[in-house]
Amino acid sequence: GAVVSQHPSWVICKSGTSVKIECRSLDFQATTMFWYRQFPKQSLMLMATSNEGSKATYEQGVEKDKFLINHASLTLSTLTVTSAHPEDSSFYICSERSGLSSPLHFGNGTRLTVT
Partner 1 sequence: AQTVTQSQPEMSVQEAETVTLSCTYDTSESDYYLFWYKQPPSRQMILVIRQEAYKQQNATENRFSVNFQKAAKSFSLKISDSQLGDAAMYFCAYRSAAGSQGNLIFGKGTKLSVKP
User: Given candidates 13, 20, 22, 38, which one binds partner 1 under the rule CB under 8 A?
Assistant: 38
Residues 56, 52: Cα–Cα separation, whole Å = 8
93 binds partner 1 (CB under 8 A): yes
Residues numbered 48-87 forming contacts with partner 1, rule: CB under 8 A: 49
CA distance linking residue 104 with residue 102, whole number of Å = 6
Q: Which amino acid is at 111?
A: R
Minimum distance between the CB of residue 13 and partner 1, rounded to whole angstroms? 19
**Strand pairing partners for 110?**
92
Binds partner 1 by CB under 8 A, chosen from 32, 80, 82, 89: 32
- DSSP-derived pairing of the beta strands 76-81 and 67-73: antiparallel
CB of 42 to partner 1, least distance (A): 7
